Structure 1
């Protein structure tokens, strides 16, 4: 313990006018350990403490270097616990000890005293957990250094981790009589805490409204109003609330005073008032009460999320109606985040609320958000989520309540059709938005009511058809191509000169190409700014390196060529150079090709070797077994000479030979000893023979099962023979489906005689011979061999 003395110097002018005081030595006494506390108290009691400054500090506490840089003082655990539980007696003892001692009825509980002694006796005392010692003494004087020597003002300066003061804590945790008395106790020592904000900018009023504590809200607002106006204002509010559920604009406004209005309109960091918190929890009576205090409260904030926007967003439509009814002269804020207004969210939530908002304010339809999107843009983007893969199974969408988006669109269009012609910041109109999400019915509604909207272009010169093709919305493309009234937009070109057909070929989308190709109004030979037609683009989409020659790009090229589509205006040598530049054939193309060969070889060689192994083993384990050695022709197959057996052996041989050729070809294609052209040839032939070996293996399997089961289970044998070829059909199914989809378009473009009489028969015959010649040879040779045997 140390002390020092010095002369007293004059301070403020008030000190100068004060009566003369005889000079005295000022004493500064510091207790740095627990042993000094009692000694310091004895000195204070014996000596004149008028000129004494007492400081008590723990010996292991380090003072901060800079007071400005020090963190906020942590709330004392006893204060926090008392405020959280509504222990107004404990709060009174901590903040006004003289009053607590003068009135025995205000004496804190034994539990509080035990916790106090635990903290002051050196026990562990942490926020939220107050240790209880094994025995407690009623003499709380001894050792009560921390909470009792600090002034009430110092105690109330403590905050929680979230920055909440004691008043925040009380307002959050209760609404009863004890909590209200806690508010009185705290505000008696620090009324400024009512206006203090935590780390998120919330005042105690925000906390009370968030918790739905309407009595606490009344208490806080009453303290902000002041005692002179509190009783009168509360009486008026209660009469207004009980007189009618829906207050009219003629309801007299309550005079809550300037301080009360400022307190009600205080915003947190999210620019939200206590009214927002009441709306967020759906507390309609509390919303009415706050509006009764301030009928202009729904006007704030004027930018950001307004109470009306929040109520519609949370589908609290009864609260939205209350906001409108109780607002002064029905004036309130319609604003929302990012420049939106309440109608932006209403069109996504409710048809009825959309209709009501349009009755309240018709100007909302023309207001755009920060992206320039109007509410009609939002309504046009409304779609069924299951169409976009949001739900894991399409059947889940069957259990959803369908949103009546067409009623919303109808309400907005009937009120004002001008927003349909209002673009956003990138020039997209509502019809473009509908096309981007694939809303065909919405586009039909727009075109039916306003036919000229079909030709609207965005900043890139795109119509809704261009957008639908780029976003691969096939249903919209089919609708546009099938609607005769939209023929005038089919050949519109964007800023790059591309029509919808150019973009469909560029996207290599077979379905959209067929829809456009089938419409004779679509021009095939229009050129873009690069001088390219759709056929030129189809050529560029065919890779110059190793690829599957029956892909979509090849089919589109064949279809355009068969119907007489022409090339563009570019010289052919320049076109070929550009083609090579696109695919970088010279250097990068070969590197990519060799990499693809290596990867394909590693994958295919496993299957080829497996087929070769299986077919080799089947040759020596034929169906039906072998003739015993003690019989004529012992060791030969028992079923030899039958038609099915001969066909089985030929098919199995083809499978073995083709898989072996594929294996050798894959070995050569993966070897760096051969040049690029040779390796390409080997892997192409290996792929063909690999596919052929699979077909022959399926034929051999089917014949083998048939030989074994036909004599004893003919029906089962028949089923196996029907199911087994599904593998072969599946391998070629995509190829045939693409040509089948092209058939109607080719009939329209090239005629029925050419398509059905010449083209398709040629494709069917040539493809069958090319793919299934081993199968044809197998059954033909088996029949010939059986006939030669009989001869």
Structure 2
């Protein structure tokens, strides 16, 4: 069926009309039917009130019938999920109070992403309420195969990650070693998004997670270099006492320097090239050094970034490999004279 009168009133946020409609059918057997009635996409009036952020209407509908909180719509989303996502702490508490068996919460259709919803809302208090009902919810993944730690790392929710790692130590620590559908571990997600503080939290609880590789055999420095996260790169270079991460090669033979070069992150290239332990002459599986990679960039997009990246390599004395690059793939303006570019490169970065 399409939307009924209660759906329309809930969408408008008109509490007076919602109360009138419920009272009108209370004396008949139609009250439960009205509250639980669903629209074409499976939404009850409670779904709609929460989607439209009408908290007062949602509270009233909940007081009339509690069990509708756990009914999922056609997208698998329950009113409880929407309340968590909206950050309605008191409403979430009321909904969970009506749950007779908290251990079944993880099995309820529509309840699978409650922890992820709390993480998305960045509400530490609601996260605690949900996990106290059923700690096993931290084990669940979302549609991308991400655990709550991976998802929290991707959005930079430090407080939530710190809480989970501290209060659910053993179970949470094991999640640090669970990869998502793309082969990324939580610490890779933190590196990709530039969250140094979260990386430190992961290493505090799981020190050896620094050695994890994604499905491209890339360490966290590879990931940070590829995405241009200069603060993460600086931190990881200080952390890399064994000088292993900075020169490690991925499945294509690329070092972090190759990846920063390929993606034209001149600031990261500058940081890496002026670290005396980074090997500038390492060749990837194509036989290219980082400088070869810079000179082989064919497209004309991001010309300034491309030039700055090349200048950073040349000014640091990065060499070409023995493999000849076709002349038509090298810009005629790229002249190999490091002294010309040293001052201009650093001046450009400061500017």
The TM-score, its normalising length taken from structure 2, stands at 0.79
1:579 correspondence with 2:326: yes
Question: Alpha-carbon deviations, 1:253-280, whole Å to 9, x = none?
Answer: xxxxxxx655533221232222324544
The equivalences for 1:503-518 within 5 A come to: 503-518=259-274
Unaligned ranges ≥5, structure 1: 1-196, 226-259, 384-404, 584-588, 594-679, 681-731, 742-791
C-alpha distance in 1 between matches for 2:160 and 2:35: 35
Query: Residue 358 of structure 1 corresponds to which residue in structure 2?
Result: 131
Partner residue of 2:64 out of 290, 294, 304: 290
Superposition pairs of residues 323-362 of structure 1, within 5 angstroms = 323-330=95-102, 341-349=113-121, 350-362=123-135
Alignment of 1:657-672 (within 5 A): none
Instruction: Tell me: CA distance 1:739–1:407, structure 2 relative to 1, closer, same or farther (3 Å).
Output: closer
Question: Deviation per CA, 1:524-582, whole angstroms, max 9, x where unpaired?
Answer: 33221112223433454699xxx99x854144124225xxx5625x4xxxx1xx33253
Equivalent residues of 1:542, 1:554 under 8 A apart:
no
Matches within 5 A, 1:585-624: none
Partner of 2:91: 319
Distance 1:738 1:418, change over 3 A: farther
Q: Tell whether 2:24 aligns with 1:223.
A: no
In the alignment, is the contact (CA less than 8 A) between 2:281 and 2:290 conserved in 1?
yes
Aligned positions of 1:83-102 closer than 5 A: none
Q: Contact 1:209–1:277 (CA<8 Å) still a contact in 2?
A: yes
1:423 and 1:429 in contact (8 A); partners too: yes
1:567 aligns with 2:321: yes
Tell me the SS of whatever aligns to 2:326: helix
Q: 1:341 to 1:483 in 2, by over 3 A?
A: same
Instruction: Quote the RMSD (CA, aligned, Å).
Output: 3.5
5 Å-filtered alignment, 1:255-294, equals: 261-279=32-50, 280-283=53-56, 285-291=59-65
Q: Report the Cα distance in structure 2 between the residues aligned to 1:533 and 1:335, rounded to whole angstroms.
A: 53
Q: Which blocks of at least 5 consecutive residues in structure 2 are unaligned?
A: 334-340
Are the counterparts in 2 of residues 465 and 477 from structure 1 also a CA contact under 8 Å?
yes
Q: Where do 1:446-457 residues align within 5 Å?
A: 446-457=202-213
After superposition, the Cα gap between the structure-2 partners of 1:320 and 1:362, relative to the gap in structure 1 and judged at 3 Å, is same
1:688 is matched with none
Shift in Å at residue 740 of structure 1? 9.9
* Compared CA separation, residues 451 and 531, structure 1 to 2 (3 A): same
Contact 2:72 / 2:109 at 8 angstroms: preserved in 1?
A: no
Task: Report deviation, 1:326.
Answer: 2.0
1:434 and 2:208 equivalent?
A: no
Is the Cα contact below 8 Å between 1:335 and 1:341 reproduced in 2? no
> Within 5 A, what are the aligned runs for 1:7-406?
197=1, 201-210=2-11, 211-212=14-15, 213-225=18-30, 261-279=32-50, 280-283=53-56, 285-291=59-65, 295-301=66-72, 304-330=76-102, 341-349=113-121, 350-383=123-156, 405-406=157-158
Q: Which residue of 2 aligns with 1:686?
A: none
RCO comparison, higher one (Cα < 8 Å, 6+): 2
1:443 correspondence with 2:238: no
For residues 441-480 of structure 1, what are the alpha-carbon distances to aligned partners after superposition, in whole Å with 9 as ceiling and x for unaligned? 1112112221222222222222222221121111111111
Structure 2 CA distance for partners of 1:446 and 1:336, relative to 1, 3 Å:
farther
Could you tell me how far 1:346 is from its partner in structure 2? 0.6
Contact 2:149 2:176 in 1 (8 A): yes
Separation (CA, whole Å) in 2 of partners of 1:285 and 1:554: 62
CA–CA distance in 2 between the matches of 1:409 and 1:323? Answer: 24
CA contact (8 A) 2:270 2:312 kept: no
